[in-house]
Amino acid sequence: MAGELVLARNQLTRAAVEVQTQFPHFGPLIQNLDSITSRIQEKVMQARMQPVSVVFNKFPRIVRDLARKLEKKIDLEIRGGEVDLDKSVIEHLSDPLTHMIRNVADHAIELPQERIKIGKPEAGRVELAAYHENGLVNISLADDGAGIDAERVKQKALERGQITERQADAMSEEDALNLIFAPGLSMAKKVSDVSGRGVGMDVVKTNIEKLGGTVTIQSKVGKGTTIILKLPLTLAIIPAMIVSSGNQRFAIPEIGLVEIVRIAESDRANQIETVGNAPVLRLRNMLLPLVDLAEVLGVSRVWPPGGDNFDRRERLSDRRAQARKARDAARLGGSTGLAASKGATVGDDRREETADRRDPNNLVAYVMVLNVGGNEFGMVVDEVLDSEEIVVKPLPSYFKDNLCFSATTILGDGSVSLIIDYAGLMEQAKINFSNVERATRMDLDEERRAALRERQNIILLETGTGLIMGIVHSMVRRVEKISPKLLDTIGGLPYVRYDGRTFRAVYPDQVMGLEGMGYSGGDPEEEGDADLCMVVPNIPNIQAGLIFSRIIDTRETHIDLDCRAIRAEGLFGSAQIDDRVVLFPDVNTVLVLAGIEMPHTQSQVDRSGLKALVVDDTPFLRALTSNYLQSVGFDVDQAEDGQAALAKLRTGEFDLLVTDLNMPGMDGFELAHEVPSTIHADIPMIATTSSISSDVEQRCFKAGFVSCVPAIDKNRLLKVVSLMQARD
Amino acid sequence: MLVSTFTLGDLYLGIDIVLVREINRSMECTPVPGSQDYIRGMLNIRGRVITLFDLKKRLGWSGDDVAEGGAVKQYNVIMKTHSEVLKINPGLAESKCPWEDPVGLAVDQLGDVREIVDDNILPPPANMRGISADFVHGVVEFERNLLIILDVAAVLGFDERQSG
């Protein structure tokens, strides 16, 4: 009823806007009604939310009584009684739970003498717990009793003709266990007044599902059974933001909404960038992946009624595109290839439209920053309309396979609207975000640490598609300016003739699958004139070069490497340098991806199953070294300094230690000195350093290192590793 | 049985009246992005959220036919749900009305309510135009018109569940 009241209030407030023009006194009256309704609703909601202990509290007594009647000993432990649930959920929870508990007491827990015989404590343990998980309340009932024999359930179901023999054979254990939810199936050997009348678990399941919940069961014969009920927190009213996208309104639950960012046209070019095929928003030094709601849902953007606006928009769009083209060129420090800036315009066009909805002088897009299970992402909407208390109505079953919506609601004007399910939306958006989402989720703390500042000498380069990439100076042997005329295609692959030798040309953006950012790649003719530059990586005997359109700059700078915002195979991560997103490719992987055989192939070294510890204070190098070792099968653990490494060496098992020499606190030599005091006294150690000299090498050997290699030299490192293998 | 009839283009269709809850003039509905194209969207009728099926699209009519009908003022035939039918006729609810959520069908013109003798219902002829036999419960010859009685469960996509 409270829900209906809120709905009526919402509708009335909306209607009041028009009425007010005629009756000026009407406004305050409505406002008053509005506030009273809100207060009533609040009170009702408070009254509605009740702790589950209301239900739980009656179980100790029930269990005691049952135990006495059945001559068993049962300890009931209740946890999480303070978890609040909607009253309507609680009401419907009592019967199913009582039934489940009776079942447990009767069937699951064995008689004391039996328990002693099989080595269990005399008293059976039953644990009833409530806890929050993923926005749902879980109620679990676990016992350490006899468990459910899946085979026996099958047998019973067969006897009763509920399944055929063929079905029974094909049935997994899990499915068999779920049979106990089938109507009419009783597992009790004999009917008692406690349970065993066959009306039971099916009723539990129906009741829970009516509440929008689910029931799962796990059981091990002899060990016990756990039944978990997952229930929605509330069925009634949630606060939500009403937003519009593509002329349609959607409700966004305020749970999980972190903030709303309004992006004016003037700032937009500075804040939103398109990298790979994923647009990202720069927000307080974080790169936030963006999802365009309309795009994900496949809603076509419709310009609001009034056809003549359409033309005006096109003109505006063009004009702004020109402006940005100029701006882009300026920022990149001079003559950008025409193709690149044209591409940028195309890539952003969609967002352009978003912004176009407003007054041309102050075009705006809104980004709803949402948090899904610790991952933040931004959802682009056209407009933020209102904040409303919405009455949640279940989604009709015809849309159950739609990931993006969790429920429906009725808005103030009486129209139906859909409630967005963030998690589902994120999942749906994966198609557009494959690069962002492909990599496994790393530990958040780890990544925060990875964002530590570090100083590196890097070369900034621009690819043919306008991406900016950074390559650490020491990974580059030389950079050559080449004329496009030297580019040749042999056997379908591009090659460069240079200096009497033939180099395989690798386009890093294409290899990493990042070129699909709406940059059509430019016209071949335009590409034809400008000189290209080829970066020859610092890998011995490699006959390949990475092709970029030009060098932007070389500089020594801090890198805030963000491994999370943009992800692609062959990419370490991204960082911001001079307000531009710079991608850091893993040159080795890029070459491998391009199908170039490394002088040092994987087959020579395969150390899978072994564990290595990588110690380095700079996250970038640590990630790099780990990456190299992982590529030959090592299971890599990382430590950020000598102390942390020692701690890990003392507790874990490792087969190889690779450490940086220069580290704050305890450096590599000190670490080497301490290693014999751990259980890893004879662990092979490899030192990495950025400045190698014979003096350093001497010291390394004295300290007990097997070898000393330059920090980013994959081949040297792997060679040493393979030599060690040979020695084994 | 009593059949509520309506037209869809040049088809004359009927639905068992026990399954019909109410009939409204078509009103604005909220499309659901990403849903099947034959689902027009959702309606709010007195606080109930109703899923509206576009019957023409569901029957697989081509774009032209649909556009032609779209200009005409349409009607929504709102169906009863399983639990509503259960109160009136449990047998019918089990056999013909498996859907739990309120649904509606968008149709062109309304016809009369006709009394039909069950024996007159014939199986759908093989050469029927404009509608797949899967959606047809049966046909009745009626004043030289062919009245097609819809199998609503099949239209709503419940045929698999029934047979399985």
Q: Is B28 part of a structural domain of the chain?
A: yes
Least CA distance to B158: which residue of chain A? A398
Looking at A355-369, A489-503, B16-30, B99-113, which range is the least confident one?
A355-369
Residue A184 CA: distances (Å) to CA of A107, A147, B39, B159: 17, 20, 37, 26
| CA–CA dist A97, A545 (Å, integer) | 68
- pLDDT confidence band for A526 (50 / 70 / 90): very low
Question: Are the beta carbons of B51 and A417 separated by less than 8 Å?
Answer: no
Of A4, A298, A410, the CB nearest to B44: A410
Of B33, B41, B101, the CB nearest to A299: B33
Question: Are the beta carbons of B42 and A396 separated by less than 8 Å?
Answer: yes
Q: Check whether B135 has a pLDDT greater than 80.
A: yes
Which of A444, A459, A454, A472 has the alpha carbon at shortest distance from A619? Answer: A454
Least CA distance to A8: which residue of chain B? B47
Q: Are B113 and B20 in contact (CB under 8 A)?
A: no
- pLDDT confidence band for A277 (50 / 70 / 90): low
Is B115 an 8 Å CB contact of chain A?
no
Per this entry, what is the length of chain A?
Answer: 728
Which residues of A touch chain B, with CB atoms under 8 Å apart? 4, 7, 248, 297-299, 393, 396-399, 402, 404-405, 408, 410, 414-418, 428
- pLDDT confidence band for B71 (50 / 70 / 90): low
pLDDT > 70: what percent of chain A?
A: 73
Instruction: Give the DSSP letter string of A378-405.
Output: EEEESEEEEEEEEE-EEPPGGGTT-TTE
* Unique residue bearing structure tokens 């109160």: B87
Q: Is B164 part of a structural domain of the chain?
A: no
Confidence (pLDDT) at A725 = 62
Per-residue pLDDT averaged across A179-206, rounded? 63
What does residue A317 show for φ and ψ, rounded to 5 degrees? Answer: -60, -45
Task: Say if domain A456-593 classifies as CATH 3.30.70.870.
Answer: no
User: Measured between beta carbons, which residues in chain B are less than 8 angstroms from residue A4?
Assistant: 47
- pLDDT confidence band for A516 (50 / 70 / 90): low
Which CATH architecture describes the domain A611-727? 3-Layer(aba) Sandwich (3.40)
DSSP 8-state code for residue B119? G
User: Measured between beta carbons, which residues in chain A are less than 8 angstroms from residue B43?
Assistant: 416
Q: Check whether A296 has a pLDDT greater than 50.
A: yes
Least CA distance to A293: which residue of chain B? B33
Is B132 an 8 Å CB contact of chain A?
no
Question: Are the beta carbons of A405 and B32 separated by less than 8 Å?
Answer: yes
* A619's tokens: 């996250």
Domain that holds residue B141: 2-159
Q: Is B87 part of a structural domain of the chain?
A: yes
The nearest CA of chain A is from the CA of B106 a distance in Å of: 16
Per-residue pLDDT averaged across A174-203, rounded? 64
User: Measured between beta carbons, which residues in chain A are less than 8 angstroms from residue B152?
Assistant: none
Question: Are the beta carbons of A398 and B36 separated by less than 8 Å?
Answer: yes
Of B30, B39, B47, the CB nearest to A398: B39
Q: Is B20 part of a structural domain of the chain?
A: yes
User: Measured between beta carbons, which residues in chain A are less than 8 angstroms from residue B31?
Assistant: 248
Q: What is the mean pLDDT of chain A?
A: 72
Which of B40, B130, B45, B114 has the alpha carbon at shortest distance from B80? Answer: B45
Question: Are the beta carbons of A404 and B34 separated by less than 8 Å?
Answer: yes
Cβ-defined contacts of A522-531 (< 8 Å, 24+): A522/A337, A522/A338, A522/A339, A522/A340, A522/A342, A522/A343, A522/A464, A522/A465, A523/A339, A526/A337, A526/A338, A526/A339, A527/A337, A527/A339, A527/A464, A527/A484, A528/A484, A529/A484, A530/A337, A530/A484, A531/A481, A531/A482, A531/A483, A531/A484
Question: Are the beta carbons of B31 and A248 separated by less than 8 Å?
Answer: yes
| CA–CA dist B155, B162 (Å, integer) | 13
SS3 A40: helix
For residue A449, how many C-alpha atoms fall within 13 Å in the half-sphere facing its CB?
16
Higher-confidence position of A78 and A608: A78
Confidence (pLDDT) at A317 = 39
A238-310+363-440: CATH topology is OB fold (Dihydrolipoamide Acetyltransferase, E2P) (2.40.50)
The nearest CA of chain B is from the CA of A417 a distance in Å of: 7
Interface of B with A in 35-94 (CB under 8 A): 35-36, 39, 41-44, 47, 49, 51
Cβ-defined contacts of A502-505 (< 8 Å, 24+): A502/A543, A503/A534, A503/A536, A503/A543, A503/A544, A503/A545, A504/A543, A504/A544, A504/A545, A504/A594, A504/A596, A505/A534, A505/A544, A505/A545, A505/A547
User: Measured between beta carbons, which residues in chain B are less than 8 angstroms from residue A416?
Assistant: 29-30, 41-44, 49
pTM: 0.45
User: Measured between beta carbons, which residues in chain A are less than 8 angstroms from residue B29?
Assistant: 416
Output the domain CATH number for residue B73. Answer: 2.40.50.180
- pLDDT confidence band for A544 (50 / 70 / 90): confident
Interface of B with A in 3-32 (CB under 8 A): 28-32
Q: Check whether A690 has a pLDDT greater than 80.
A: no
Least CA distance to A409: which residue of chain B? B49
The nearest CA of chain A is from the CA of B60 a distance in Å of: 18
Least CA distance to B101: which residue of chain A? A396
A630: left (phi over 0), alpha (psi -120 to 50) or beta: alpha
Confidence (pLDDT) at A436 = 38
Is B105 an 8 Å CB contact of chain A?
no
Per-residue pLDDT averaged across A299-328, rounded? 41
| CA–CA dist A497, A521 (Å, integer) | 23
The predicted-structure confidence for A357-397, as pLDDT tens digits, reads as follows 444 444 567 888 887 655 678 888 888 888 887 877 778 87
| CA–CA dist B16, B147 (Å, integer) | 12
- Residue type at position B80: K
The nearest CA of chain A is from the CA of B133 a distance in Å of: 22
- pLDDT confidence band for A312 (50 / 70 / 90): very low
User: Measured between beta carbons, which residues in chain A are less than 8 angstroms from residue B79?
Assistant: none
Q: Is B130 part of a structural domain of the chain?
A: yes
Least CA distance to A407: which residue of chain B? B49
Of A396, A402, A404, the CB nearest to B49: A396
The predicted-structure confidence for A406-442, as pLDDT tens digits, reads as follows 888 888 777 888 888 877 777 777 634 433 333 333 3
Calculate the CA A78 to chain-centre distance: 34
- pLDDT confidence band for A216 (50 / 70 / 90): confident
Least CA distance to A392: which residue of chain B? B49
Of A298, A393, A397, the CB nearest to B33: A298
Q: Check whether A164 has a pLDDT greater than 80.
A: no
Of A393, A402, A414, the CB nearest to B32: A402
Q: Check whether B139 has a pLDDT greater than 50.
A: yes
The predicted-structure confidence for A99-116, as pLDDT tens digits, reads as follows 888 888 887 788 888 888
Dihedral sign from CA coordinates of B125, B127, B128, B133: positive
Is B125 an 8 Å CB contact of chain A?
no
* Unique residue bearing structure tokens 């009745």: B140
Of B31, B36, B101, the CB nearest to A397: B101
Q: Is B93 part of a structural domain of the chain?
A: yes
Question: Are the beta carbons of B30 and A399 separated by less than 8 Å?
Answer: no
Of A399, A414, A415, the CB nearest to B32: A399
Residue A564 CA: distances (Å) to CA of A248, A375, A445: 32, 10, 12
Burial label for A676, CB within 10 Å (0-12, 13-18, 19+), is exposed
Least CA distance to B99: which residue of chain A? A397
The H-or-E segment that residue A552 falls in is strand A550-558
Q: Are A260 and A332 in contact (CB under 8 A)?
A: no
* Mutate which: B24, B35, B40, B42, vs A, most A CBs within 10 A: B42
Instruction: Provide the domain count of chain B.
Output: 1
Question: Are the beta carbons of B51 and A396 separated by less than 8 Å?
Answer: yes
What does residue A407 show for φ and ψ, rounded to 5 degrees? Answer: -165, 180
Q: Is B81 part of a structural domain of the chain?
A: yes
ipTM field: 0.81
Confidence (pLDDT) at A373 = 56
Q: What is the interface size between A and B, counted as CB pairs within 8 Å?
A: 59
Per-residue pLDDT averaged across A52-56, rounded? 86
* A75's tokens: 């300890």
Which of B98, B89, B108 has the alpha carbon at shortest distance from B152? Answer: B98
Question: Are the beta carbons of B47 and A7 separated by less than 8 Å?
Answer: yes
Q: Is B151 part of a structural domain of the chain?
A: yes
| CA–CA dist B145, B142 (Å, integer) | 5
Indicate the class that CATH gives domain A52-148+187-232.
alpha beta
pLDDT > 90: what percent of chain A?
A: 0
Q: Check whether A560 has a pLDDT greater than 70.
A: no
What does residue A512 show for φ and ψ, rounded to 5 degrees? Answer: -85, 0
Confidence (pLDDT) at A392 = 78
Is B102 an 8 Å CB contact of chain A?
yes
